[in-house]
Structure 1
Amino acid sequence: MAGMTPRAVPRVVPRVVVVGGGLSGLVAAWELSGGLDDGHGLDVAVDVEVLEASPVLGGVLQRADVGGLTVDLGAESMLARRPEGTDLAGELGLDLVHPATTRAAVATGTGLRPLPAGTVMGVPRSAESVRDLLPAADADRVAAEPEHPAEPLAHDVSVGDYVADRVGDAVVDRLVEPLLGGVYAGHARRLSLQATVPALWAHARRGGSLLRGLGPAPQVTGPVFAGLDGGLARLPLALADRLRARGVTLRTGTGVTRLERTPTGWLVDGRPADAVVLAVPAPAAARLLGTAVPAAAAELGAVETASMVITALAVPAADLVGLQGSGVLVPPVIAAAEGLRAKALTLSGNKWDWVGHQSPDLAVLRVSLGRAGETEALEADDADVLRWAAADAGQLLGRDLHPVDHAVVRWVDGLPQYAVGHLDRVARIRSAVAAAGHLALCGSVLDGVGVPACIGAARRAAREVAAGLAGR
């Protein structure tokens, strides 16, 4: 009727469920909880709920007290030259720190040698830089590489096959393997060149000499890595606090077993949601999508994963006195020859001032065990793991260790293995998920296993879901 004021229609608040409360899930929730643009310049609130199966949030970003000292038990640093991680830390008001040293040693079978500076995932830029690490014939093989230019690569290959073809097996076995093992806990001859070392892939696509293409090491203009004062595990803790302040529901101990598509959205274990973000490891995502998006489930189910065990040992500071550098990498060929189970150890107090300054009397070292396909350490009890870790660390460092406290964590399916053709697989997964509607996927299976890559994938997933809801 004329003169009457139209009654406002209540705005429907869309509900989004994020499955997985690791860093990726928390970042996706953070992005979504900022609201949606309704297309008319107005922000629309979103009801966001995060469901995490384990008792704690943060995924593989965890820390513990060992002998009264705090130390990260998962990832401890992120690339400083990718902005996603450092930007998020700044957004949350967290203080960045940088390693006091990144100079690692590599086990050779005849002692420890400094890891050559300026390598690209272990590939040297000159034969001279590896003559102390490799037998003379293998160093000569590196020196001869420019005399045998390669044809351009048209298709993805494994890192190990490409590098061995260019500079020999010894470079793969003694340098590339331990570095790739530190990042992916995998094997160089099974990991994709295109997905894991894009700098080498770019040279392979051009063809010619690899060493000439790499050239001299570029001048370093700033820190390569960054962490947080108090540990990188502070990142998900800070996110969780800010999410609660925004009214986001965070539920731990709440695993999801069933995901069903409906005409208007999704059912998550029977409860309705307008949209879903999956932020869980590949095996869990494959199980949840088995019925609703079988094409994506099949691709995710074919991704191999690696599990790891990380042990933090608190020892008297005198046990480590005089040791320099950030730690030791162990090539698989050396581990097999010397009966070692450790793939790497980190001298945490040397690497991070915030760890080293906690106590004048105690020091912490981290020992990592387990690569893709290896289950011994994963299945062993803590007592055996601790005995192996202490013995291997003592053997590598050439001294007796006397642990006074410890922590052990097992990261089951913690690292996806980027097999040859992985980027094509990711494209197929994303296409199948997008076709399902109001669904997005994020996590380390997609664009990289590092913190910045996971943050980027999570923000992308949140934007995809937001765009779908706004378009509706």
Structure 2
Amino acid sequence: MQSSQHAESTAADTGDPGATGRTGSGTGGAPGGAPPAHVVVVGGGISGLAAAHRLVTAGVRVTLVEASERVGGKLHTGEIAGVPVDLGAESMLARRPEGIDLARAAGLGDRLRPPATATASIWTRGALRPMPQGHVMGVPATPDSLAGLLSPEGVERIGRERDLPPAAVGDDVAVGTYVAERLGREVVDRLVEPLLGGVYAGDAYRISLAAAVPQLFAAARGHGHLLDAVDAVRRETAARQADGPVFLGIDGGVGTLPLAVAAAVRAHGGTLLTSTRALGLARVPGGWRVRTEHGVLEADGVVLAAPAWTTAELLAAESPVASAEIGRIEYASMALVTLAFRRSDTTGLPEGSGFLVPPVDGRTIKASTFSSRKWSWVDKGAPDLVLLRASIGRYGEEEQLERDDADLVRAALTDLGAATGLAARPLATEVTRWIGGLPQYPVGHRARVARVRAEVAKLPGLTVCGAAYDGVGIPACVADGRRAAEEILATPTLARGTDHGAGQ
């Protein structure tokens, strides 16, 4: 894996980035032998890679610039005790097609794998308790199976929700505020918070229902009672879902996906420049100029797929309003502690794929995944070992990441021991920090994104995409990258001479 990343960092086939202007070779091209349009993609996470892939398969010449030494962003594989393992996101939602489709297009279709077990727990009130079924992001449809997770009073409160007067959610509302008012604060603190925390590392009492759980928000606007809204979402989901797993991973790690997409982009003539920071952006007659630390790129179009802080800086001169809005997007940071144990030392480990932890219980870790149980490829790759990982850090807990690696490992082991009885010392450990890893979607986020898109639309040949806008999961990021590419392809100066049907 390290050799692949190094190859990626030297994939600037043209040498000096300043040499990659509007002229040069590439796939496709305009009629009469004119050179193909040139688009610069800033940011090599999965959104930028998805945009680049769509563009090159439509006949556009693409240069992707990534500030770090590798592509992939939070999709990253490494090794622990000689075993390949994901050190970032480890699965993707299978019931949205975009991530799966991109994996297949990149040649990974035969390596898609469902989890070996889908059972999970919540560690709360001093015990691991089964994750309840039939919920929508922790919001239950009924009080059934919640005994132990909630107090008797909390369970009884849920059953009285339909006795309350109907409530309107308005244009937006915080998930925690709305659910606590309808079902009681216990439901938020012990069910909704750990599930939302696993996705956003955020605070349920700040996170937007409209942005984070849009299906439930839409249903709540049509139903005065929350339980009725949850029932409606469950029925709609059941009606449109085919049989199959909810999530899929990739044999070898989800972190192999960006490398495969990058290889596909290069195979179509695209250029990837890692360790290349974009420093400035300016409109010029007929297109754009992107200034990097290694030279200047002239482009007919630009896709900004970088984190919000970078995109805000690049847009400051050309769209100060959009820049200001994007610059207000906040992020949470987190750390993953990956641990390898002798299998013989973990005989008492509970069944299932792992557990979530409500912040109200005051633990350091917010979740743990039993990787060797969850993924058959991890298990087969290390038959004598058991790999676990724990995540630490939520919005507002940045001080956790200031602890040194050894301290984070000790904290993870302490909580794992309390939750599972695991007393063994690990053979190997790996701490991975994701600083500014997860954008936050507070109340009003969708309105902010709409304002950003309206301002950016005033700049022909420019668009933005990424996790900061319409979803943090892999399928959502891939979908946003493809949307951005389609917007660029529709730009009149690019639309002539490109094959829009390619790569569909």
* Common fold by TM > 0.5: yes
**Would the aligned equivalents of 2:196 and 2:204 in 1 still touch at CA under 8 Å?**
yes
Q: Summarize the alignment of residues 31-430 of structure 1 with structure 2, pairs less than 5 Å apart.
A: 31-35=54-58, 45-94=59-108, 95-215=111-231, 221-269=243-291, 270-322=296-348, 323-334=350-361, 336=362, 340-430=363-453
Structure 1, residues 363-402: CA drift from partner, whole Å, max 9, x if none? Answer: 1111101111111232222222222222222222122131
Q: CA deviation at 1:12?
A: 3.4
Query: Whole-Å Cα distance in 1 between the matches of residues 182 and 394 of structure 2?
Result: 25
Structure 1, residues 258-290: CA drift from partner, whole Å, max 9, x if none? Answer: 112223222211432221111111111111111
Gaps of 5+ in 1: 1-7, 36-44
Structure 1, residues 102-143: CA drift from partner, whole Å, max 9, x if none? Answer: 221111132111111121111111112212211111111111
**Would the aligned equivalents of 2:222 and 2:229 in 1 still touch at CA under 8 Å?**
no
SS in 1 for 2:355: strand
Q: CA deviation at 1:151?
A: 2.8
**Would the aligned equivalents of 2:365 and 2:390 in 1 still touch at CA under 8 Å?**
yes
**Would the aligned equivalents of 1:310 and 1:366 in 2 still touch at CA under 8 Å?**
yes
**Would the aligned equivalents of 2:139 and 2:230 in 1 still touch at CA under 8 Å?**
no
**Would the aligned equivalents of 1:306 and 1:416 in 2 still touch at CA under 8 Å?**
yes
- Write the letter of the residue equivalent to 1:237: L
Query: Whole-Å Cα distance in 1 between the matches of residues 381 and 203 of structure 2?
Result: 36
466, 472, 481: which one aligns with 1:449: 472
SS in 2 for 1:33: helix
Query: Whole-Å Cα distance in 2 between the matches of residues 409 and 52 of structure 1?
Result: 20
Choose 259-268 or 134-143, whichever is displaced more. Answer: 259-268
The number of residues matched between the two structures is: 452
- Write the letter of the residue equivalent to 2:326: L
1:29 and 2:52 matched: yes
Q: CA deviation at 1:149?
A: 3.9
Query: Whole-Å Cα distance in 2 between the matches of residues 147 and 115 of structure 1?
Result: 27
Structure 1, residues 26-63: CA drift from partner, whole Å, max 9, x if none? Answer: 1111111123xxxxxxxxx4221111111111111001
Query: Whole-Å Cα distance in 2 between the matches of residues 9 and 24 of structure 1?
Result: 33
Choose 452-461 or 373-382, whichever is displaced more. Answer: 373-382
Structure 1, residues 180-226: CA drift from partner, whole Å, max 9, x if none? Answer: 00000001000000111123212320232222343396668321111
| CA RMSD, Structure 1 to Structure 2 (Å) | 1.7
Percent of aligned positions that are identical: 50
Q: CA deviation at 1:9?
A: 5.5
Q: CA deviation at 1:92?
A: 2.0
Query: Whole-Å Cα distance in 1 between the matches of residues 183 and 324 of structure 2?
Result: 37
Using the size of structure 1 for normalisation, the TM-score is 0.92
Query: Whole-Å Cα distance in 1 between the matches of residues 229 and 260 of structure 2?
Result: 43
Choose 404-413 or 172-181, whichever is displaced more. Answer: 404-413
**Would the aligned equivalents of 1:51 and 1:252 in 2 still touch at CA under 8 Å?**
yes
